[in-house]
Chain A
């Protein structure tokens, strides 16, 4: 996958500073503003394919439109199944949003959770525009909210995003494994998280999605302070999730910290590359263009494959 430089915005595109976006209270408006501006700036329009072929039945889950229930099948099996057609949408698009407490950090005026909300909303908006079914899972150490992918769930998704608040500590593997059961149909899964876990642990968490044939995009959201560690004065550092405090003299461990975070990012990038997962490092001080472009490139590739 092509790696985008983070040094500046893409030429020709109108990108809005995340701090400005943070003033827009309405996520839909925000997403439309960002995505439309983004797409209009591109030299060519993305491909929007469509199909009306029956694809498969799947079990009814709460939230599905009951008009899609296959009553004939219900008469035969006494179970609720929903008919799915390729014509309904091109694919499923699900946002796996980490709402752990560490996501509440922000040193540039925009917290990581806010940035993640923008990103999730923009991605969902883009998917919704091309009639993909959109859904969302918010999780910390457990599943907080689950909205199944549906062409009509865009509003619900925005609402879920809007009220997502980082409260508890987070874990990737347990909640993701739990929700993976509902991702049996191939789709696009966007994991938005700060990924404060060991790389192996992270990949154990996303493996099920991969095995189910989903295309996974990992958005690694980090604040610039987490990357550059610009602290100077000795102080106690408190872990946002555990509350643990450690006295730190930044000057003495700055170099080592930077090495460790860089190594972590590189390890994630390498692992993702191995299992064909798109990895994007998202710096919250930068506009959303990198992430969106990454998504579009990925979506285009999927269309070609299908």
Chain B
């Protein structure tokens, strides 16, 4: 039996009330005046007499009524029937062994000790008992399902290997809860063998185990682990003599409690040592180690920073992949005869950046050709009228994945004869009133172009004044990105094939508006160009346990010596396993191992340097701070005890109500007792007494 509101048990202190009624309340506060206490004082004063309960029946009735009322308000309920409870306390065991295989378990002999503990639990299984072995890190895997075969279980433990994914307890505990709730055996147990890494709790995760489940955490954590790890690297890229040079700075952390002196920190690029330095690391402090610059000549260069030689080797290496920065080609189309100053703001904004992100080519509209379009990713048409002959070429360009940003100006118009490219139509130019310039009223900050300015103080468009503008009338299916304050559309997008077209209803010079003079101008143009050019920055490394989509990289591969695209690729894991991606297979790769994943074009005719992904263990795994068993139990079950009392079985509302309905009976009995007490007390009080 449990109670929904056990705090009401404080009401048991009301038991003192009947006692007070019998002893204290009977003694009136108003004293009785008597001529002389001469004779009363001569009678021996018996304090025991005063304390004596005069009427035990009344006292017991009152006490019982109070106790029953308090219990009724505590809302007792039966979580299981007595028969179920008796069954639960006897019979075979269902044991779920959760074995932590996260990289942190590789510290010293933790992994071996954990295996030994798991085997000890297996050896303790009796006849009829069943055990399930669950290996967990970021996710939980049911390794051996409910069996009493100890040999098989022990073999599974022996065969278990460490993974590279960070540890998280919630999936494993949920799996255990699911397994136990389905079990038909009477005694349920969960055994967690882990280093109880605190970082495994990313939020309070309370799992409702079936009632009676015994929860046993077994910790293999070391007392004061010493651990040095490389948590990240940063790159400073510069261009020198047409080559890109990179300076690598590594962040080294001493997670131990004692300082570590003279730690060797080395940088290796494509298997060649670049430099080795030594560092002294204070406990809990992150140190930056900067290496000499090296030249980045080709794509997918593998780098590796190593630091320390402590018991956890997995985090002593940090891998990364670098490729030379490739500026995105942008074709800036201006009207014929336009002065250089007219495109100055745009070309200057795109040139900003180190290394340069965009390669801008300015061309008059009359010299725009289809071959020029094939060499670019983004076309910006600034205040120019596109000749009708270029319409089909532009359409093909966009359908292939190219992007067009058309800035209306006074000359802007349809991009093709069918008006299939321009999002909507451009209205005639409007002049803002002389008293007040037009402003942007609504901006879609959820769009990639404006997402950068979403948070407060990260860009203010409210101060941009438009003196002249051409509202866009979008067609159905076009997406509006911004509106003027009068409600007309200022910027709209249309998707055509694999590409996109964005139209802007003003100019990008200082004549029609002052946007180019605002701080938001440069980042906005960069965002637009990056979005339209579909520029994706490849991260230098990934964390183990993540799943990435390499279909873009696969699509970039070409068959040897031709422009023919390959459709599938081979992924070679750090351990040497191979898997096919692309084609009929999915383009996603599960990064389970620590090291370099190679993605090569499929087939013998394929050529080209393989695409490489560097995978490191989650930096959180380096933090070996552990929880004690009680804290872990509390975190896992919401209770401090090893035995869970929580009910996980789904109880129907009617059944739940029936189990809680005891309080009604208790209240009725208590009421009945009070009535009885009143009747008896009334009869007793009818004895003659002088009025005090």
Contact = CB atoms under 8 A, between A and B. Distances in A.
Q: Tell me whether chain B's interface is mostly helix, strand or loop, or mixed.
A: loop
Contacts of B39: 257, 260-261, 264
Contacts of A261: 39
B37 A239 contact: yes
Given A240-B34, A240-B35, A225 B690 contact: yes
Contacts of B687: 232
Interface size of B as a range: 20 to 34
Contacts, number: 96
A291 B669 CA distance: 62
A252 interface: yes
Interface string A98-124: 000011010100001000000000000
B27 A247 contact: yes
Contacts of B30: 235
Highest count of chain A CB atoms <10 Å: which of B31, B36, B42, B45: B36
Given A238-B32, A249-B49, A233 B40 contact: no
B692 A240 contact: no
B428 interface: no
A256 interface: yes
A112 B35 contact: yes
Contact of B692 (A112, A194, A235, A239): A235
A233 B37 CA distance: 17
Contact of A196 (B26, B32, B35, B49): B35
A230 B690 contact: yes
A233 B36 CA distance: 18
A128 B36 CA distance: 34
Interface string A230-261: 11111111111110111111001100110011
B35 A226 contact: yes
Highest count of chain A CB atoms <10 Å: which of B28, B37, B45, B689: B37
Contacts of B42: 256, 260
Contacts of A105: 33-35
B241 interface: no
A196 B33 contact: no
A231 B692 CA distance: 8
Contacts of B688: 230, 232
Given A105-B33, A235-B31, A246 B41 contact: yes
B43 A256 contact: yes
Nearest to B687: A232
A223 interface: yes
A235 B28 CA distance: 5
Contact of A234 (B27, B35, B41, B45): B27
Contacts of A238: 31-34
B50 interface: yes
A112 B36 CA distance: 13
Contacts of A225: 690
Contacts of B40: 237, 246, 248, 253, 257
A182 B525 CA distance: 131
B552 interface: no
A231 B37 contact: no
Given A107-B690, A246-B41, A234 B26 contact: yes
Contacts of A260: 39, 42-43
A233 B31 contact: no
Interface string A274-285: 000000000000
A252 B46 contact: yes
A230 B692 CA distance: 11
Interface in A252-306: 252-253, 256-257, 260-261, 264
Interface in B325-380: none
Nearest to B39: A260
A232 B31 contact: no
Given A234-B50, A256-B43, A257-B43, A244 B35 contact: no
B690 A231 contact: yes
Contact of B50 (A237, A247, A264): A247
A242 B689 CA distance: 26
A239 B38 CA distance: 9
Contact of A239 (B28, B36, B43): B36
A235 B29 CA distance: 8
A54 B32 CA distance: 56
Highest count of chain A CB atoms <10 Å: which of B27, B33, B34, B692: B34
A261 B35 CA distance: 13
Q: Tell me whether chain A's interface is mostly helix, strand or loop, or mixed.
A: mixed
Given A248-B40, A253-B40, A257-B43, A233 B35 contact: no
Contacts of A226: 34-35
Highest count of chain A CB atoms <10 Å: which of B26, B43, B45, B49: B43
Interface in B1-36: 26-28, 30-36
Contact of B36 (A102, A107, A234): A102
Contact of B38 (A112, A196, A247, A256): A196
A102 to B, nearest CB: 4
B159 to A, nearest CB: 83
B33 A236 contact: no
Given A257-B40, A260-B39, A264-B39, A239 B50 contact: no
Given A246-B45, A249-B50, A239 B689 contact: no
Contacts of A242: 37
Given A256-B43, A264-B39, A233 B692 contact: yes
B37 to A, nearest CB: 4
Contacts of B689: 230-233
Nearest to A228: B690
B207 to A, nearest CB: 59
A107 to B, nearest CB: 7
B35 A231 contact: no
A238 B49 CA distance: 20
A242 B35 CA distance: 10
A231 B36 contact: no
Highest count of chain A CB atoms <10 Å: which of B40, B46, B49, B50: B40
A194 to B, nearest CB: 6
Interface string B364-407: 00000000000000000000000000000000000000000000
Contacts of A102: 35-36
Contact of A232 (B35, B45, B50, B690): B690
A240 B33 contact: yes
Contacts of B35: 102-103, 105, 112, 194, 196, 223, 226, 239-241
A117 B171 CA distance: 99
Contacts of B26: 233-234
Nearest to B42: A260
Nearest to A260: B39
B37 A252 contact: no
B32 A237 contact: yes
Contacts of B38: 196
Nearest to B50: A249
Interface string A190-227: 00001010000000000000000000000000010110
Contacts of B45: 246-247
A172 B49 CA distance: 36
Given A246-B41, A246-B45, A252-B49, A236 B31 contact: yes
Contacts of B27: 233-236, 247
22 contacts: A105-B34, A105-B35, A225-B690, A232-B688, A233-B26, A233-B27, A233-B28, A233-B689, A234-B27, A235-B31, A235-B32, A236-B27, A237-B32, A237-B37, A239-B36, A246-B37, A247-B27, A247-B45, A252-B46, A260-B39, A260-B43, A264-B39
Top 9 A-B pairs, shortest CB-CB distance: A232-B689, A102-B35, A238-B31, A253-B43, A236-B31, A196-B36, A260-B39, A105-B35, A239-B37
Interface of A: 102-103, 105, 107, 112, 194, 196, 223, 225-226, 230-242, 244-249, 252-253, 256-257, 260-261, 264
Given A225-B690, A240-B33, A242-B37, 16 more contacts: A102-B36, A105-B35, A107-B690, A196-B35, A196-B38, A226-B35, A230-B689, A231-B32, A232-B690, A234-B26, A235-B27, A235-B30, A241-B36, A247-B50, A249-B50, A260-B43
